[in-house]
Chains A and B, each alone.
Chain A
Amino acid sequence: MNRMVVLTGNEVEAEAMRQINPHVVAAYPITPQTEIIQLFTGYVVDGRVDTELIRVESEHSAMSACIGAAAAGCRVMTATSSQGLALMWEVLYIAASLRLPIVMAVVNRALSGNINIHCDHSDSMGARDAGWVQLFSSNVQEAYDTMIQAVRVAEQACLPVMVMTDGFLTSHEAEPVLLYPDDQVRAFIGPYRPGYALLDVDHPITVGPLDFHDYYFEHKRSQAAAITDAAGVIDQVAREFEQAFGSRYHAVEPYRLHDATVGIVAIGSTCGTAEEAVDAARSRGIAAGLLKLRVFRPFPLPQIVAGLRHVHAVAVMDRSDGMAGWGGPVGVEIKAALYGLAERPTVIDYVYGLGGREITVEDLVEVCEELHGIADGQDGGEPVRYLGVREEGAIHEPENARREA
């Protein structure tokens, strides 16, 4: 029987891991991910899972142990945040190159420095080219459903998958969530059949050899095909998920976008806030819509073009700054995606929410109004804008004080 309960993102991710019952989990504590591993450790010590847990001494070793265990032939999971993901950087690429279907919960948190424990996407955006599938979730239900789908995606695509939630937002906010019975989840993910296994000692393989210029490029080309093909796998798994559990997920999900003249593109927990803002803007006569990006890698190019081609102005909400001198990574990629259109919307990149800075419905209604001005030709201004940063001194807002407490 399905159960409707009130849980946080971290709790449902731990619950999904319990149901998945992976062979091996290797993880290291880091805020705000720690809770997932604490909860999961409880399941291990109480015998509620059969998982072997490796309490490593760093995230670098966490990912290295995951690579070893996955190459050995096991279903493997882990979780991290921020600096932890950054410390893994070197081995993330190796996990993807070795085509190991590791599933990792990433609870998004700003990268140092200065050190900050709250949400932005600079950690997972920094890893966007590592060869991992990247799936974002915008609420607790999505976090749960995505963890379950991620196992299938990883194993069918033979690629590692990151499942993102927003640190201290989706990760720590309790919401009603529908949980599925253990047997149905296990039936959905099925038994694990590794692509190759070191522990098959009768058929010895060499994993991770040295490639020179005569083979490296071919291996990279093959890997590039795998991440391209992962788009189809994600969609197929989503269809099967719908059949099993009723909810249909897509790479991108439009909201009131079909007749919109201005559109917002957002990722993660901001999407819900943006839907509210779209409704508010429409009540003020602005034909606004939202394109929620659920899959960031592989980049859902055709769906993005189809979703945005008819609007006049687009605001890309970037929860990290690429420090590239022209905004954040999502903005850059959305602009590139629309380049092929003969008539393109004007795209404004809004860098926002860094280090957990609040984003409100009002903020996003204001964005819709700015877009409306652009569509009308009144505002032809800055293509990169910083939303919610103090341009001049201001009185400290008690709301922020409450969140930090």
Chain B
Amino acid sequence: MNLKTLAEKPERLTGGHRACAGCSAPVVARQVLMAAEHPVVVGCATSCLEVVTTIFPFTAWKVPYIHCAFENVAATISGVETAYRALRKRGELDRDIRFVAFGGDGGTYDIGLQSLSGALERGHRFLYICYDNEGYMNTGIQRSGATPRGAQTTTSPAGKTTPGKTERRKNLTDCVIAHHIPYVAQAVPTLWKDFMTKVQRGLDAPGPAFINVLSPCTLGWGFDPSLTMEIARLAVETCFWPLYEVVDGRYRLTYRPKEKRPFREWMEKQERFRHLFTDANQPLLDQLQAEVDQEWEGLLRQCEDSKEVVE
């Protein structure tokens, strides 16, 4: 895969959408559509991406697209995918089409978790892209199940007694892996080749595929719009957001940072963590680092174990 070849393909998500300057979500969507080699039908949960790309009579999508509601994109796309199988079975359709669902973290980790879980368990052949910006950004930056501990949001403000969100974020990628689907991965748009390769693997998987894409939000996280890609990369370099894939249950790290950077470096670049850097919060900072270390080491063990399985 190289960019010169990709650039020859027609753009399938146009400009003229109304995402904030520097928003990562349209980059994620563009890269998914670029990587797809077949015609695709897209489903989108209610989210920033949905709102900014489809304001009647304007649509940025040049592929068939459906938005139904907030919590049900997985169920909706499973209906579309089943319709495809039904028509093919009766000889009423003769095209090779792939199906992609987009949801934010709110629509995936929280309100849409049941719909996602059901669709994964039923085994529909579709690729779910969670563009995880770690909060309810469309409604004005509220905490979600994906918001990291310590982060400030409008419903987890740093107050006199509480340093931002007090609860640990859930690891949705692990939840999805527990469904034993053929393909699961984590990605960032900064490492585009890694991401797009995963998109192609996900679309080629014989059943459900899921990619969790860390998608920095300039407004909600508090950084200059030009830094979106750098912030995403730094999440990888600190091992907060490891890039890996799980194919038929076997773990593989797809990118190993040369040197594991302190988690603090990532947080320091963002306004939402600014209140944490006091002496009083040092134990919390230590805890956050410990949690990153724990998940990273657990992942490395899984990758090692998978090698043994292969050998």
Interface pick from A210-218, A265-273, A326-334 = A210-218
Task: State whether A60 touches B66 (Cβ < 8 A).
Answer: no
User: Which listed residue, B51, B97, B119, touches A210 by the CB 8 Å rule?
Assistant: B51
Chain B residue contacts of A67, Cβ below 8 A: 66, 68, 76, 79
Decide: A68 near B71, CB < 8 A? Known: A52-B86, A208-B66, A215-B56. Answer: no
Task: State whether A74 touches B97 (Cβ < 8 A).
Answer: no
In whole Å, how far is B40's beta carbon from the nearest beta carbon of chain A? 8
Decide: A72 near B115, CB < 8 A? Known: A54-B78, A199-B93, A204-B61. Answer: no
In whole Å, how far is A39's beta carbon from the nearest beta carbon of chain B? 20
What are the interface flags for B113-127 relative to A under an 8 Å C-beta threshold, 1 for contact and 0 otherwise? 011011101100000
In the bound complex, what is the Cα–Cα distance between A65 and B101 (angstroms)? 13
Decide: A24 near B115, CB < 8 A? Known: A198-B64, A209-B56, A210-B56. Answer: no
User: Which listed residue, A51, A60, A72, A201, touches B79 by the CB 8 Å rule?
Assistant: A72
Does A61 reach chain B (CB closer than 8 Å)? Answer: yes
User: Which listed residue, A23, A51, A64, A201, touches B41 by the CB 8 Å rule?
Assistant: A201
Per the 8 Å Cβ criterion, residues 28-81 of A in contact with B are: 50-52, 54-58, 60-62, 64-74, 76
Does A26 reach chain B (CB closer than 8 Å)? Answer: yes
Nearest-neighbor residue (CB-CB) of A22 within chain B: B86
In whole Å, how far is B202's beta carbon from the nearest beta carbon of chain A? 19
Task: State whether B83 touches A24 (Cβ < 8 A).
Answer: yes
Per the 8 Å Cβ criterion, residues 179-225 of A in contact with B are: 198-201, 204-212, 215
Chain B residue contacts of A211, Cβ below 8 A: 56
Task: State whether B84 touches A199 (Cβ < 8 A).
Answer: yes
User: Which listed residue, A26, A60, A199, touches B97 by the CB 8 Å rule?
Assistant: A199
Chain A residue contacts of B114, Cβ below 8 A: 57-58, 61
Task: State whether A206 touches B61 (Cβ < 8 A).
Answer: yes
List B residues at the A interface (Cβ < 8 Å): 39, 41, 43, 50-51, 54-57, 59, 61-69, 71-72, 74-87, 89-90, 93, 95, 97, 114-115, 117-119, 121-122
User: Which listed residue, B43, B79, B81, touches A66 by the CB 8 Å rule?
Assistant: B79
Decide: A94 near B87, CB < 8 A? Known: A201-B41, A205-B64, A206-B54. Answer: no
Task: State whether B64 touches A74 (Cβ < 8 A).
Answer: no
User: Knowing that A24-B79, A201-B97, A215-B56 are A-B contacts, what are 17 other residue pairs whose CB atoms are under 8 Å apart, sorted by A's residue number?
Assistant: A24-B83, A54-B122, A56-B122, A60-B75, A60-B115, A64-B68, A64-B75, A65-B75, A65-B78, A68-B80, A74-B86, A76-B79, A199-B84, A204-B65, A206-B61, A207-B65, A210-B54
In the bound complex, what is the Cα–Cα distance between A69 and B77 (angstroms)? 8
List A residues at the B interface (Cβ < 8 Å): 23-24, 26, 50-52, 54-58, 60-62, 64-74, 76, 90-91, 94, 198-201, 204-212, 215
In whole Å, how far is A188's beta carbon from the nearest beta carbon of chain B? 19
Between A54, A56, A198, the greatest number of chain B beta carbons within 10 A of the residue's beta carbon is seen for A198
Chain A residue contacts of B74, Cβ below 8 A: 61
Task: State whether A60 touches B122 (Cβ < 8 A).
Answer: no
Decide: A71 near B69, CB < 8 A? Known: A56-B118, A215-B57. Answer: no
Nearest-neighbor residue (CB-CB) of A209 within chain B: B54
Task: State whether B86 touches A199 (Cβ < 8 A).
Answer: no
Task: State whether B82 touches A24 (Cβ < 8 A).
Answer: yes
Chain B residue contacts of A64, Cβ below 8 A: 68-69, 72, 75-76, 79, 115
In whole Å, how far is A165's beta carbon from the nearest beta carbon of chain B? 25
Between A64, A66, A68, A90, the greatest number of chain B beta carbons within 10 A of the residue's beta carbon is seen for A68
Task: State whether A74 touches B83 (Cβ < 8 A).
Answer: yes
Task: State whether B86 touches A208 (Cβ < 8 A).
Answer: no
Q: Could you list 20 A-B pairs, sorted by A, with CB under 8 Å?
A: A57-B118, A61-B119, A65-B79, A68-B66, A69-B80, A71-B79, A72-B80, A74-B87, A198-B41, A198-B66, A201-B41, A204-B62, A205-B65, A206-B54, A206-B61, A209-B54, A209-B56, A210-B54, A211-B56, A212-B56
